[in-house]
């Protein structure tokens, strides 16, 4: 089971859309999700170390450097509406086989 956090600038629209894409990708790949939450970047940076993976728009990846050093997979999305990209990122992170 994995715990996933999805973050965007304000924690409203974009993160919710990304969350839906990541949920669908997990379902399609047979990944059992313990928890998936969405929030703002400021909340996400402080909470990221409690998750296995963090999804955010690509230009915000560096904000999660401290979590990445703790082993959290940081997944930056170029297209936040892409199911295929969410699947690819889950595979690259080693969460999906």
pLDDT digits (tens, 9 = 90+) for 64-92: 999 999 999 999 999 999 999 999 999 99
Paired sense of beta strands 53-57 and 2-8, if any:
parallel
Q: How high is the pLDDT of residue 54?
A: 98
Domains of the chain: 2-92 (3.40.50.2300)
Please tell me the predicted confidence (pLDDT) of residue 12: 85
Which residues does the chain have with pLDDT short of 50? Answer: none
Would you state the pLDDT for residue 40? Answer: 96
Reference 20, options 37, 40, 3, 43; nearest CA is: 37
In 3D space, the residue among 30, 5, 6, 2 whose CA is nearest the CA of residue 80 turns out to be 6
The per-residue pLDDT for 11 is 84
pLDDT (0 to 100) of residue 52 = 97
Residue-by-residue DSSP string for 33-94? EEEEEEEEHHHHHHHGGGSSEEEEEGGGGGGGHHHHHTTPEEEEESSTT-HHHHHHHHHHTT
* Reported pTM: 0.95
Listing from the earlier edge strand, what are the strands of the sheet with 33-40?
A: 33-40, 2-8, 53-57, 73-77
3-state SS assignment for residue 6: strand
- Give pLDDT, residue 91: 96
User: What are the tokens at 42?
Assistant: 């400021």
């Amino acid at each position: 089971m994995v715990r996933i956090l999805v973050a965007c600038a304000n924690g409203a629209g974009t993160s919710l859309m990304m969350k839906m894409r990541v949920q669908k990708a997990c379902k399609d790949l047979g990944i059992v999700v313990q928890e998936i939450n969405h929030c703002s970047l400021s909340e996400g940076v402080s909470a990221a170390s409690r998750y296995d993976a963090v999804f955010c728009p690509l230009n915000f990846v560096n904000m999660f450097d401290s979590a990445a050093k703790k082993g959290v997979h940081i997944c930056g999305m170029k297209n936040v509406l892409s199911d295929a990209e969410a699947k690819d990122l889950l595979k690259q992170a080693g969460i999906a086989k």
